Amino acid sequence: MTETPLNGEYDDWLDSIEAGEGYYLKCDGGHGWLPPRRVCPDCGSRDLHDEPLPDSGDIVTHTTVAVATPQFKDDAPYVTAIADFGPVSITGLVRGVDPEDVSIGDVVGIEVGERETTGDRAVVFRPR
């Protein structure tokens, strides 16, 4: 275990995904966000409650990163994508598919994996 302090609700959110109980925050205006949030940036509502994260999302854009930062040097080349889960979109690493074969519209599930370079936890998408 690391002695680095955790990032509060963000790490709790990763825990929830690892446990298969992923969630997002929804305001009474119907806007979705990821934690930590105390107020909806869209409508100003402070009434945010947990909702189950949909089981899968659609890739809306993606890139294959060849020139990485030192924290990802052993991961490169790798695919980073944004996937639309309905009320929220999430950024993650796409694994389990050749980078050449990743396309907009691909359906992916979400899980928590490890960054190869550092072992840090990371959001991972896999094709469904």
Partner 1 sequence: MTDPRIAGAGVTQFGKHPERTGRDLFAEAGLEALDQSGVDPDDVDALYYGNFMGEIAEHQGHQGPLMAEAIGIDAPATRLETACASAGAAVREAVKTLRNGESDVVVVGGAERMTNIGTAAATDALAIAADDLYEIRAGMTFPGAYALMARAYFEEFGGSPEDLAHVAVKNHEHALGNDHAQIQKPITVAEAMDAPTVAAPLGLYDSCPITDGAAVAVLTTAEYATDHGLDAPVAISGTGQGGDNLALQDRPQIARTPAADKAAAEAYADAGIEADDVDFAEVHDCFTIAEVLAIESLGLFEPGEGIHAATEGTTTRDGEIPVNLSGGLKAKGHPVGATGVAQLATIAWVLEGTHPRADAAPDSTVGVAHNAGGTVASTTVHVMEVKE
Binding site for partner 1 (CB under 8 A): 7, 10, 33-34, 41, 60-73, 75, 78, 80-82, 88-93, 99, 104, 115, 120-123
- Residue 33 C-beta: closest distance to partner 1, Å: 7
C-alpha 90/C-alpha 55 separation (Å) is 13
- Residue 46 C-beta: closest distance to partner 1, Å: 18
Query: Would you call 15 helix, strand, or coil by DSSP?
Result: helix
Q: Give DSSP secondary structure letters for 53-92.
A: PPS-EEEEEEEEESS--GGGTTT-SEEEEEEE-SS-EEEE
Which is closer to partner 1, CB of 28 or CB of 110?
Answer: 110
Which is closer to partner 1, CB of 53 or CB of 123?
Answer: 123
